[in-house]
Amino acid sequence: MKGADAEARAETHLRALGREVVARNYRIPGGEIDVVTREADGTLVFTEVRQRLRAAHGSAAESVTPRKLALMHRAALTYLTRELGRDDVPCRLEVLTIDGPAASGTITVIALEG
């Protein structure tokens, strides 16, 4: 359940930033978006949540591979077209990392380019 704990903490953090959570664990074959939120200006944000208890195998951010980013991009595009019927909605991708325990580790939000 550690993934669920990290995602729950991420959702709480994103709500504290003033965002509305519109979906969790949006799945398509081969991909998933952990949390989809909407900012006050209507921008949708697709968030991948990564947590690492210890840094022995690198930080949480280092666990995000180019392949994972490509799958995330595909899942976000699918969300836009299937759920909203269009792909021209203002949106962006980000990774929310938790380094340390899910309940108390350091949270960092990394905006992704492109």
Domain of 58 in residue numbering reads as 2-111
Q: Which tokens in the block code for residue 72? A: 């995330």
- Name the residue type at position 38: R
CATH of the domain at 23: 3.40.1350.10
Give the model confidence (pLDDT) of 21-57 as tens digits.
Answer: 999 999 999 889 999 999 999 999 999 999 998 877 7
Could you give the number of structural domains in the chain?
Answer: 1
- Left (φ > 0), alpha (ψ -120 to 50) or beta: where does 18 sit? left
pLDDT at residue 56 in the model: 78
User: 114 pLDDT exceeds 80?
Assistant: no
Model-level pTM?
0.93
